[in-house]
Structure 1
């Protein structure tokens, strides 16, 4: 994948079809249904790794808060830079 060789996709699929691995052949047939998009994805230098990593982190925060979502728990999982940038004024007893 690091070599960005989407143009080799057809050759790889033909090799897979010659093997006796039904699950892999089924996977290759699925790739053929959207061949152009798969080849473009394999050829592109762009990566969604950073975005996926942030999504995973947010999901972890969300799951860790179920049943015990208190602010002190959220603060322990939030980077210090975000805590300072996103801090909001405290609400006093008479201001609720």
Structure 2
């Protein structure tokens, strides 16, 4: 609990830090609860209106690929299994570099579990 006292004091002394903490905490809540459909539009508007250029830039980046951001923050589907397979294949390829022909690499990729 002692770590929170200095942060509260800093937030009291610096309005920009206080606003940044609030905006970032709201975004974390959207990420954790997958509430993109409900709250992301308001959050992005608030971030664009903030005094901090970093938050404005981040919000502008979200607007550039809005459909993908909304899907990522509202749908339960993800590409985790696919990324896991890609990572596994890259690991096998690194292990086999310079040691075998493509036919052996193909067999290892297909048979490795």
Q: Taking structure 1 as the reference length, what is the TM-score of the superposition?
A: 0.59
The runs of 5 or more residues in structure 2 that have no matched partner are 1-30
Choose the corresponding residue for 2:59, options 16, 25, 28: 28
1:3 equivalent to 2:33? Answer yes
Whole-Å separation in 1 of the counterparts to 2:100 and 2:32: 40
Whole-Å separation in 2 of the counterparts to 1:69 and 1:28: 48
The runs of 5 or more residues in structure 1 that have no matched partner are 84-96
> Which residue in 2 is equivalent to 1:87?
none
Q: Whose Rg is larger?
A: 1
Q: CA RMSD in A?
A: 3.0
Closer/same/farther in 2, CA of residues 69 and 28 from structure 1, 3 Å limit: farther
Higher helix share: 2
> Which residue in 2 is equivalent to 1:93?
none
Q: Taking structure 2 as the reference length, what is the TM-score of the superposition?
A: 0.52
Aligned residue pairs total 77
Structure 1 consecutive aligned stretches of length 4 or more whose deviation exceeds 4 Å: none
Which protein, 1 or 2, shows the higher relative CO under an 8 Å CA cutoff with sep ≥ 6? 1
